[in-house]
Amino acid sequence: MARRAELIFDARNSVGESPVWRADEQALYWVDIPARKLCRWDARSLVVNSWLAPEMLACIAPLPSAGGWIAGMETGLFTLTQQPDGQLGSVRLAPVTHTQPGMRFNDGRCDRQGRFLAGTMVMNMAVAANAGCLYSYQKNSGLHTLLEGIITPNGMAFSPDGQTMYLSDSHPSVQRVWAFDYDPATGTPSNRRVFIDMNLFPGRPDGAAVDSDGCYWICGNDAGLVHRFTPSGKLDYSLAVPVKKPAMCAFGGAGLDTLFVTSIRPDGVDLSDQPLAGGLFAIHTTVRGLPEPALGAL
């Protein structure tokens, strides 16, 4: 089991997402999407730094080189490097032609072989437009479409052996997590089936992580919970965080046994009952996570 969630940093992020642990630095990185910020928390010094991106920055995965990132933003995929002046140097790897205006990338990460998979969404969730797509990028073949017809793609994760892909649609009208058979050799998902119907559990399915036991951890947005599901889709247990909108979780720490959780601080809402909304939290667990794969050279 696990202990209670503790505040690591009162980040006050509008939309804190995409936490990634870099073991070589003993540091956690994450993004604040509308603020266009990449943030870094150093586990040894406890110092927090941030860098500004030229566009909304939604999801990141490490590059093999120290300090570099691949990122899904508004107009495509970019490589990012941290600059001394607090800016992010950016080079566009692959432009994206969105299916309609007002879209950006959302959730994404690398598969176990180093392909970067990321989904797009219409930023105005009220229109419930199923215009989102799931894309895959690899250096030798560029960007190509894997799936279409998604409203709010989220919950991207892979089983320890890389042969199962998880993907959710967190829009209130859907609230489901799917599992796919995933071919590690080709990066092709197939045999889509419902893994978790989150309409039966508290919270909308937001960002996710997989532990070394193959269990799937998903943030229950609006419910202040992080759920752990077994590989068969059975709820194992739920952990509370002191905010209503946990957004994404990731394992890190020296033993990969700390679950870091980012969160959302909504505008125009009375936050007197959740003053730490938008903060970064840590839950020390008795299970271990898996190292986050870097972009490969497939």
- Going along the chain from its start, the domains and CATH numbers come out as 6-284 (2.120.10.30)
Contact 117, 150 (CB under 8 A): no
Q: Each residue of 230-258: b (16+ CB within 10 Å) or e? A: eeeeeeeebbebbbbbbbbbbbbbeebbb
Query: Which of the residues 32, 111, 169, 206 is marked catalytic?
Result: 206
pLDDT value of position 1: 52
Tens-digit pLDDT profile for residues 119-135: 999 999 999 999 999 99
pLDDT value of position 4: 85
| CB half-sphere exposure, 199, CA atoms < 13 A | 9
Contact 17, 288 (CB under 8 A): no
75, with CB counted inside 10 A (0-12, 13-18, 19+), is middle
Segments in the chain below pLDDT 70: 1-2, 66, 297-298
Tens-digit pLDDT profile for residues 267-289: 988 999 999 999 999 999 999 99
Which residues lie below 8 Å from residue 174, measured CB to CB, with a gap of 6+?
151, 152
Contact 51, 68 (CB under 8 A): no
Contact 107, 17 (CB under 8 A): yes
pLDDT value of position 267: 92
pLDDT value of position 253: 97
pTM: 0.96
Residue 61 Cα distances to 143, 213, 231, 237, angstroms: 16, 22, 24, 28
Q: What is the DSSP string of 40-61?
A: EEETTT--EEEEE-SS---EEE
| C-alpha–C-alpha distance, residues 134 and 66, integer Å | 27
pLDDT value of position 38: 98
52: nearest Cα among 80, 27, 91: 80
pLDDT value of position 140: 80
β-pair partners for 204: 221
Annotation says 206 is catalytic? yes
Beta pairing, strands 235-240 & 176-183: unpaired
| C-alpha–C-alpha distance, residues 145 and 162, integer Å | 19
